[in-house]
Amino acid sequence: MYFCTKPILKREFGGAGYNSQIGDIAMDLSKILSLIYRYLWLLVGAALVAGIITFYQIDRQPSAYQATTHLLIGPGLDSPSPDINSLKIGGQLGQTYAEVLSTASFLETVNNKLSQKVNLTVLDDAISSRQSIETRLLTIIVESPDPEQAVAIANAAAQTLLEMSPSKDNTFTTLRAQMSEQVSQLQQVVNESQARIKELEAQLVTLKDAQGALIVNNNPNQESLSDPQVSSPTSLEAAKFNLDQQNLVVRELGEERSRLSETIRTMAAIYQSLLDTNTNEIEIIQPAIIATQIDKQLWLRVISSVIAGLIFALIITFMAEYFDDRLRLPGDLSRAVGVPLLSVIDKHTSKEGNGLEGLVTYAQPNSDVANRYREGVAKLLFMIGESVPYTLLVSSLGSKNGGEADAAVAAGNLAVAFAQAGYKVVLVDAQVGHPALTALFKAENKQEGLTDLMVTGSTAPQLLPIQQVPGIRLLPAGSFTEKNSRAMLNPANAAALFDRLQKEADIVLVAGSAISHFAENLLLASQVDSVVLVARQATLKSKEVSAVVENLRLMKINIAGVIFDYNSSPLISTEDDGIGSRRDNTSREALPQGPLSEQTKR
């Protein structure tokens, strides 16, 4: 025994929930990786072409230089206290000035200021701007292959914007300077007035002190100075003069205070005018002095182009995969057929030679591929259970010629695996047009074959033993004639023959042609217990497989499972003149898709 069925059956048929989810994820990942591998040439090619073209174009471009001029829009930096509304308006005006940069009149004015004239379209492409509403800074950016020309254009553009704004004559700055000078003069007047007021107040205090002294000297008894009987004429004159002086000082003091108040009001009005800001003002913060060379960012652009090319190729790849419904992965085939996947045969190299040397289960029994066939046998045995003897038709879903090779390889390897497991096997070559197994075991014209027995109705087949594998006996395809070909459609003879073969073995394996291309294959499928379908990678479309399976189910034919093979058959050529090719391809084609007549049913 080369295998044990329990671990395989446990892995395949045990546990559904979590293991099923893991299997679906693994299948999706495998499909994506397979897709990328198949279109790797396109992905790499698209990325390389995009990168090379970008490198060539950018590398050929001449060097460019950039000059910038920074302007402040709105209240200037010397504004005493700009309010929030003025700042917002200045930011919005910056957007307006940025739009002006692309107008024809602006470009014409800038061009007139240049010593080296340029085309207006070129000038428009060369000038761009960067504007910030929050900072109110407008940056004029000029790109040109000539660094001196870039500086000249940047400064000319800034000067043109300045001339278009109210700041062109510097009116507001001049007015502000004049008001500042007036404030300085008024401040000097205030200082003089305050000094004069202090002086007058001091004089008034002195006069009042002198008046008090006169009263004390002329009237020691503190009698009233106005009493003529007490005061002398001289004292009265002195007191009167003192009062006159006080009145004069008081009047002058009042006039000086009025003058001071008026001057302060005038200063307050001028100061308020200074506080009022001009929102539509442009100030050149930094003119263009020198132009710097622009970094081409060659490798960054190349990498970006490579990524873009790769993404474009991926889009093409997934679109091609979306419209291509060929079955490329085992899971796709199993889902299309709607039956379990018996085995997946990976690519391998078969040994050269005739006979069993062409079957991997015999030539390389310890290989992974041979173990895959034994895995399929284990699943079939699990399905068969106690229903021995059991008949199986191995048929291909592929083309007429290549499909026969696929079925022959699969049937031969399954027969060896069944025999290695201790079962007696009868291997029937039902590929009468391309008898691959008959040619493989060199059984041509040695004895009566399947077609001969179908013609005569004999139930005593002469089976050819396979000496290398004692458990296998072969029923060759037999001679091919038009009469024998018609006899293959006799359901009574087929039923009798299969009943006889079941008495000779535990497992009867019938290697048939492509299931959907010849009517006798559908007849054989109706006479066996189950059908095993074989398919090669990327040779079938999902719709075609679904149509075949629908026909089989309408005929109530049991499908045991599918075998997915990544290899092409090493036994026969897919051409019509290959080994064992005897059928006229124009003889009998597939039956119409749909239920066959009752004659072909068991």
pLDDT tens digits for 221-245?
544 444 444 445 667 777 788 788 8
pLDDT tier at 584, thresholds 50, 70, 90:
very low
The packing angle between helices 171-218 and 233-275, to 10°, is: 160
- Topology classification of domain 172-279: Helix Hairpins (1.10.287)
Q: Please tell me the predicted confidence (pLDDT) of residue 592.
A: 36
Q: Please tell me the predicted confidence (pLDDT) of residue 392.
A: 92
Over residues 507-515, the mean pLDDT reads 87
Distance CA 12, CA 333 (A): 17
Q: Is the dihedral of CA 497, 499, 505, 511 positive or negative?
A: positive
Task: Tell me the three state secondary structure of residue 71.
Answer: strand
pLDDT tier at 123, thresholds 50, 70, 90:
very high
Task: Tell me the three state secondary structure of residue 535.
Answer: strand
pLDDT tier at 597, thresholds 50, 70, 90:
very low
The packing angle between helices 298-323 and 17-38, to 10°, is: 120
Q: Please tell me the predicted confidence (pLDDT) of residue 601.
A: 35
The phi, psi pair for 229, rounded to 5°, reads -75, -20
pLDDT tier at 108, thresholds 50, 70, 90:
very high
Contact 571, 579 (CB under 8 A): yes
Over residues 125-130, the mean pLDDT reads 91
Closest CA to 366 of 407, 420, 330, 415: 420
Lowest mean pLDDT among 371-375, 433-437, 482-486, 555-559: 482-486
pLDDT tier at 4, thresholds 50, 70, 90:
very low
Over residues 144-167, the mean pLDDT reads 88
> Which CATH architecture group holds 65-165+286-293?
2-Layer Sandwich (3.30)
Over residues 585-600, the mean pLDDT reads 35
Q: Please tell me the predicted confidence (pLDDT) of residue 472.
A: 92
| CATH 3.40.50.720, domain 330-575, yes or no | no
CATH 3.30.70 boundaries in the chain: 65-165+286-293
Contact 354, 442 (CB under 8 A): yes
**DSSP symbol at 595:** P
pLDDT tier at 274, thresholds 50, 70, 90:
low
Q: Please tell me the predicted confidence (pLDDT) of residue 415.
A: 93
Q: Please tell me the predicted confidence (pLDDT) of residue 488.
A: 63
Contact 517, 400 (CB under 8 A): yes
Q: Please tell me the predicted confidence (pLDDT) of residue 523.
A: 81
Residue of 390 and 404 predicted with greater confidence: 390
* H/E stretch holding 512: strand 507-514
Top mean pLDDT of 48-57, 88-97, 565-574 is at 48-57
Place of tokens 């100075």: 225
Residue of 581 and 68 predicted with greater confidence: 68
pLDDT at 75 over 70: no
Over residues 418-429, the mean pLDDT reads 92
Contact 396, 506 (CB under 8 A): no
Q: Is the dihedral of CA 432, 433, 439, 444 positive or negative?
A: positive
The phi, psi pair for 129, rounded to 5°, reads -145, 160
Closest CA to 394 of 519, 562, 517: 562
Q: Please tell me the predicted confidence (pLDDT) of residue 427.
A: 92
Contact 129, 71 (CB under 8 A): no
Over residues 487-497, the mean pLDDT reads 75
Residue of 326 and 388 predicted with greater confidence: 388
Closest CA to 9 of 334, 382, 294: 382
Lowest mean pLDDT among 235-249, 392-406, 476-490, 492-506: 476-490
pLDDT tier at 310, thresholds 50, 70, 90:
very high
Over residues 260-269, the mean pLDDT reads 79
Place of tokens 């058959």: 569
List helix spans (H) across 324-394.
330-337, 360-363, 368-384
Q: Please tell me the predicted confidence (pLDDT) of residue 233.
A: 61
Does a cis peptide bond (omega within 30 degrees of 0) precede residue 389?
Answer: yes
Distance CA 450, CA 98 (A): 92
* Residue 446 Cα distances to 251, 438, 450, 477, angstroms: 157, 10, 13, 11
pLDDT at 404 over 80: no
User: In whole angstroms, what separates CA 494 from the centre of its chain?
Assistant: 59
Do β-strands 425-429 and 530-536 pair in parallel, antiparallel, or remain unpaired? unpaired
Residue of 423 and 72 predicted with greater confidence: 423
List helix spans (H) across 5-119.
5-13, 17-38, 40-60, 84-100, 104-113
pLDDT at 19 over 90: no
CATH 1.10.287 boundaries in the chain: 172-279
- Computed over every residue of the chain, the mean pLDDT equals 77
Q: Please tell me the predicted confidence (pLDDT) of residue 356.
A: 76
Q: Please tell me the predicted confidence (pLDDT) of residue 90.
A: 66
Over residues 478-487, the mean pLDDT reads 62
